Structure 1
Amino acid sequence: MTKRNKIIYWIATIWLSLGMVSTGAVQLFKGKEGAGGVESITHLGYPIYFLTILAIWKFLGVIIVLIPKFPLLKEWAYAGFFFAMSGAVISHIASGSAMNEVFPSLLLLALIVISWNFRPADRRITAVSQ
């Protein structure tokens, strides 16, 4: 892995992790405003208890993405992040949200793809020879 790719990976991964932890905290503590808060989730038509589920998944995903090894769990974490953020983007668009409400989910979605694409070899699933 080149030094450039390593820098891209860590910047994207740290920014992604901070975004997931901060939105997860808002969701866990049922913040009224902000990305993924109570107002946002009810506007999208989801029940409030969904916030707790999302928050726990985000926290666990961040832990898995940041710790070394466990490449299969990392794939699942990235997939879960991708599904959650693409679902958020689609939900906001379908409910007629303003672009400034869609942008945080789009940004996190881009960071997920960048982090996943630039991850080091030891964080990838390798082909099993038979």
Structure 2
Amino acid sequence: MNKRNKIIYWIATIWLALGMTSTAIVQLVKMKEEVQKTSLDLGYPVYFLTIIGIWKLLGVVVILLPKFLLLKEWAYAGFFFLMSGAIISHLCVEDSMADLFGPSLLLILTILSWYFRPANRKLVGSNYKTVRANRS
């Protein structure tokens, strides 16, 4: 991995971790504005905030740790689905473009972090075979 890709990876990953952590905290403490937006504006139940807040924090831990390659893939996929779902939800209720900024930025950071991750953080053919062999 060249130096440029490593820099892109760490910048994207650190900002992704900060963004996911800060939004998870807001969701877990159920800030008034977040409850308003999620339940009244978007129509999701309030308990949804707890579920996605916990999953975001777990995903951040997995993405930052050097091991757990299969869980890392799941975390990136979860972040992708969560942020694309947030974008679609805001579009469906015709929210302003400002409401799309946060989820769009986190979606871009998710893609950049996933794409530029180093080889030792990727689940590739040989790693997958190793994981399967260890399970047997």
Higher helix share: 2
**Shift >4 Å, 4+ stretches:** none
Larger radius of gyration: 2
Matched with 1:119 is 117
Listed one character per residue, the Cα deviations across residues 54-96 of structure 1 (whole Å, up to 9, x for unaligned) are 0000000000000011111100000000000000000000011
1:122 CA displacement = 0.4
Q: Which runs of 5 or more structure 2 residues have no equivalent in the other structure?
A: 130-136
State the identity as a percent: 62
Alignment of 1:28-43 (within 5 A): 28-33=28-33, 37-42=34-39, 43=41
User: C-alpha root-mean-square deviation of aligned residues, in Å?
Assistant: 0.8
Q: Distance between the aligned counterparts of 1:102 and 1:39, measured in 2?
A: 16
Q: Distance between the aligned counterparts of 1:59 and 1:116, measured in 2?
A: 17
Q: Distance between the aligned counterparts of 1:109 and 1:69, measured in 2?
A: 23
Q: Which runs of 5 or more structure 1 residues have no equivalent in the other structure?
A: none
Matched with 1:16 is 16
Q: Once structures 1 and 2 are overlaid, which stretch shifts more, 119-128 or 48-57?
A: 119-128
Give the TM-score of the pair, scaled to structure 1.
0.95
Instruction: Give the aligned length.
Output: 126
- Within the candidate set 45, 49, 55, 1:51 is matched to 49
Alignment of 1:66-105 (within 5 A): 66-105=64-103
Matched with 2:132 is none
- SS of the equivalent of 2:125 reads coil
